[in-house]
Structure 1
Amino acid sequence: MRIATYNVEWFSALFDQDDRLFDDDGWSSRHDVTRADQTAALGQVFRAMDADAVMVIEAPDQGKSHSTVAALEHFADRFDLRTTHAIMGFSNDTQQEIALLYDPVMLTPRHDPRGDFAGPEGAGGAPRFDTALRIDLDIDAHEDLVVFSKPPLELAIETRGGFAFHMIGAHLKSKAPHGAKTEQEVLSFGVANRRKQLAQAVWLRRRIDMHLAEATPLMLLGDLNDGPGLDSFENLFGRSSVEIVMGQEGEAGALYDPHARQALLRKLGVAPTTARFWIRQEKRFLQALLDYVMVTPDIRARGARWRIWHPLDDPECWQDHALREALVTASDHFPVTLDFEDGPQGV
């Protein structure tokens, strides 16, 4: 069984009003990349991965005039992918949805949101992800309301081999200080955004604990927009969102992702990366570890094998020139896959 997570930059911009691919020479929303080039590159990447299911981060828009599921299924049909079906949960207003594109022969997913519904006043604990969490962000004895701009997708999965587990697809809010005009505003906005992101991580961790209490095999995957050592705010707050969500290695309830663990253990050594961004002011690329597939021990015990499809770091991707170019053209993130043995519970 192969499960992937893939953040596709501006996937939505490749589809017309009928949720069909433009696939023309018009410019995509990627810099200096046409819609036809990005579309072809994505088709090549999805076919090369040949995953049984792909958690698509920044999936096409869902709204009055758009359907995320229809767009993804049209994309799969265009490239004759075996992942012919798509499923999503709660939509959002960012044009960046979270959805699963999957092979119906290999697995059956069901939208399975957990937690109590919270009204406008929010709720403590771990309410449903499309509502609001009430939490004190700055230790001032006053509770704040935190929401997900992109509510995580919760799915109950049953594989063809009879393995049942839960999956959470997540895309946490970026910490970028948008709108800041002065250095003081950059710092102030950055701290506030960091607090909100850490609160979202706490919310996710509480949901994970709910599943662990039920002894449910669990996989959390997606773009957490954060990682150990990624920015200066980590020193201020002590831990990254990734560390909160994953838990402490060796402690009960800890999830596992080898790339995240490697990054946590490094000092000055090189860490794995899953994304590559052009920094215009500095005229260079920034690489970062942002995309993860975290699992409980019962999934890891099924011979779990992780792979980052990095065009420059993965030898097979590097040696395949066409795939290497496609990975660079398709998105500023690269897919992460997890292979594990299918079969009944306990196998």
Structure 2
Amino acid sequence: MRIATYNVEWFGALFDDQDQLIMNDRWSGRHNVTCAQQAQALGTVFKAIDADAVMVIEAPDQNGQRDTVMALEAFARAYDLRACKAVLGFSNDTQQEIALLYDPNKIKAVHDPIGVATGKKRTDGVPRFDEVFHIDLDVDATEDVVRFSKPPLELQVNTAKGNQFRMIGAHLKSKAPHGARSRDEVIRLSVANRRKQLAQAIWLRARIATHLEAGDSLILLGDLNDGPGLDEYENLFGRSSVEIVMGEDGANGLFDPNARAILRRRLAPIPTSSRFFLAREGRYLQALLDYVMISSDMCDKKPCWRIWHPFDDYECWRKTELREALLTASDHFPVVLDIEI
């Protein structure tokens, strides 16, 4: 089985209010890329991946006028994808949903959130992801109340072979200090955003621990917007979100070889899954932000990871159409897991 995660930049801008693809020369949400160019590039990438399931990060938005599931299924029909059914969890107001596009002949995926309802009060147990989480991340002895801006998507998955596993799609909040007008504001917002992101990671880790303690097979995938050494504010809190979510090695930890590589980074080259242009510096920044993590019991099912990077992956590089499509489609690249389940 092939399972992937793919952050598609401004996917929602490619659909009209009837959830149909916009295939014209109007500019898309991507710089200097038209709607038709981005849509065609995405079709090429999704067709090439040919995955049984794709966790779509920044999926088309869900609101009173627009429907994420209808938009994704319209996209799948347009490019004749095997993964032609979609499932959405809790919607959000960021225009960046988390949804799974999957092949109904291979798996059945159902939104299955767990956790306690909290309202605004602290309760025992791990809150449901559309509720609130109480935590004190600093030394002021005052609890912070945290919400997910993009609640993770929790799925119960059953395969055609009769296997079962849990899947969680996540997109943790970015640490970028948007709106800052001075150096002091940059520092203040960066620290505040990292505190919130770490709180989300701790909340997510608590849910992961619940599944692992229950003996559930688990795949956690998506954009964690973080990695060890990604910014200077990490040292204020000791660990990155990635380290928190993965946990320790062993039965209660999750495994992703790319994540392990950045933990051992030292002087060795590290994998990357995204590429952003820094206009002020006139160069590109590459980072590993996207992950597919599996529980220890799934490590004996011959898992094989691949980042479809247009410059680092040889097959992606040598196929000109695919290479150009990957660069046009998004500022992130798909991370793909092949596994025998």
Report the alpha carbon displacement of residue 225 of structure 1 after superposing the two structures with TM. 0.2
**Which residue does 1:10 correspond to in 2?**
10
- 1:179-258 aligned within 5 A: 179-249=179-249, 251-258=250-257
**Which residue does 1:323 correspond to in 2?**
322
SS of residue paired to 2:90:
coil
Counterpart amino acid of 1:209? A
Check whether the contact 2:251–2:296 (CA below 8 A) recurs between aligned residues. Answer: no
Report the Cα distance in structure 1 between the residues aligned to 2:315 and 2:213, rounded to whole angstroms.
40
1:214-267 CA-to-partner distances (Å, cap 9, x unmatched) read 100000000000011111112221110000000122x44110000000111111
Report the Cα distance in structure 1 between the residues aligned to 2:320 and 2:178, rounded to whole angstroms.
37
Report the Cα distance in structure 1 between the residues aligned to 2:56 and 2:130, rounded to whole angstroms.
18
SS of residue paired to 1:243:
helix
What percentage of aligned pairs have identical amino acids?
Answer: 63
Check whether the contact 2:292–2:337 (CA below 8 A) recurs between aligned residues. Answer: yes
**Which residue does 1:288 correspond to in 2?**
287
Report whether the alignment pairs 1:146 with 2:146: yes
Report the Cα distance in structure 1 between the residues aligned to 2:123 and 2:146, rounded to whole angstroms.
10
Report the alpha carbon displacement of residue 122 of structure 1 after superposing the two structures with TM. 5.0
Check whether the contact 1:124–1:135 (CA below 8 A) recurs between aligned residues. Answer: no
Counterpart amino acid of 1:323? L
Report the Cα distance in structure 2 between the residues aligned to 1:177 and 1:93, rounded to whole angstroms.
19
1:8-66 CA-to-partner distances (Å, cap 9, x unmatched) read 00000000010000111100010000000000000000000000000000000101000
Report whether the alignment pairs 1:54 with 2:82: no
Report the Cα distance in structure 2 between the residues aligned to 1:278 and 1:248, rounded to whole angstroms.
34
Counterpart amino acid of 1:340? I
Check whether the contact 1:123–1:133 (CA below 8 A) recurs between aligned residues. Answer: no
Change (3 A) 1:76 1:197: same
1:49-92 CA-to-partner distances (Å, cap 9, x unmatched) read 00000000000010100000000000000001111100011000
**Which residue does 1:23 correspond to in 2?**
23
SS of residue paired to 2:255:
coil
Report whether the alignment pairs 1:164 with 2:167: no
**Which residue does 1:345 correspond to in 2?**
none
Change (3 A) 1:105 1:125: same
SS of residue paired to 1:110:
strand
Check whether the contact 1:124–1:134 (CA below 8 A) recurs between aligned residues. Answer: no
Structure 1 stretches lacking a partner, 5+ long: 343-347
**Which residue does 1:72 correspond to in 2?**
72
- Range that drifts further, 117-126 or 81-90: 117-126
Report whether the alignment pairs 1:341 with 2:302: no
**Which residue does 1:273 correspond to in 2?**
272
- Deviating beyond 3 angstroms after TM superposition, the runs of 4 or more aligned structure 1 residues are 121-125
Report the Cα distance in structure 1 between the residues aligned to 2:96 and 2:307, rounded to whole angstroms.
22
Check whether the contact 1:255–1:295 (CA below 8 A) recurs between aligned residues. Answer: yes
Counterpart amino acid of 2:218? L
Counterpart amino acid of 1:173? K
Check whether the contact 2:83–2:102 (CA below 8 A) recurs between aligned residues. Answer: yes
SS of residue paired to 2:254:
coil
Check whether the contact 1:172–1:197 (CA below 8 A) recurs between aligned residues. Answer: yes
Counterpart amino acid of 2:200? Q
Report the alpha carbon displacement of residue 125 of structure 1 after superposing the two structures with TM. 4.3
Report the Cα distance in structure 2 between the residues aligned to 1:93 and 1:218, rounded to whole angstroms.
27
Check whether the contact 2:251–2:295 (CA below 8 A) recurs between aligned residues. Answer: no
Counterpart amino acid of 1:272? P
| Two-structure CA RMSD over aligned residues (Å) | 0.9
- 1:114-125 aligned within 5 A: 114-121=114-121, 123=123, 125=125
Check whether the contact 1:57–1:96 (CA below 8 A) recurs between aligned residues. Answer: yes
- Give the TM-score taking structure 1 as reference length: 0.97
Check whether the contact 1:125–1:203 (CA below 8 A) recurs between aligned residues. Answer: no
Report the alpha carbon displacement of residue 269 of structure 1 after superposing the two structures with TM. 2.0
Report the Cα distance in structure 2 between the residues aligned to 1:85 and 1:268, rounded to whole angstroms.
43
Check whether the contact 2:166–2:217 (CA below 8 A) recurs between aligned residues. Answer: yes
SS of residue paired to 1:46:
helix
SS of residue paired to 1:301:
coil
Check whether the contact 1:124–1:133 (CA below 8 A) recurs between aligned residues. Answer: no
Report the Cα distance in structure 2 between the residues aligned to 1:120 and 1:298, rounded to whole angstroms.
36
**Which residue does 2:301 correspond to in 1?**
302
Check whether the contact 1:125–1:206 (CA below 8 A) recurs between aligned residues. Answer: no
Report the alpha carbon displacement of residue 123 of structure 1 after superposing the two structures with TM. 4.2
Report the alpha carbon displacement of residue 138 of structure 1 after superposing the two structures with TM. 1.7
Report the Cα distance in structure 2 between the residues aligned to 1:42 and 1:252, rounded to whole angstroms.
37
**Which residue does 2:97 correspond to in 1?**
97
Check whether the contact 1:122–1:131 (CA below 8 A) recurs between aligned residues. Answer: no
Report the alpha carbon displacement of residue 139 of structure 1 after superposing the two structures with TM. 2.4
Counterpart amino acid of 2:273? T
1:151-208 CA-to-partner distances (Å, cap 9, x unmatched) read 0000000111111000000000000111111111111111111111000000000000
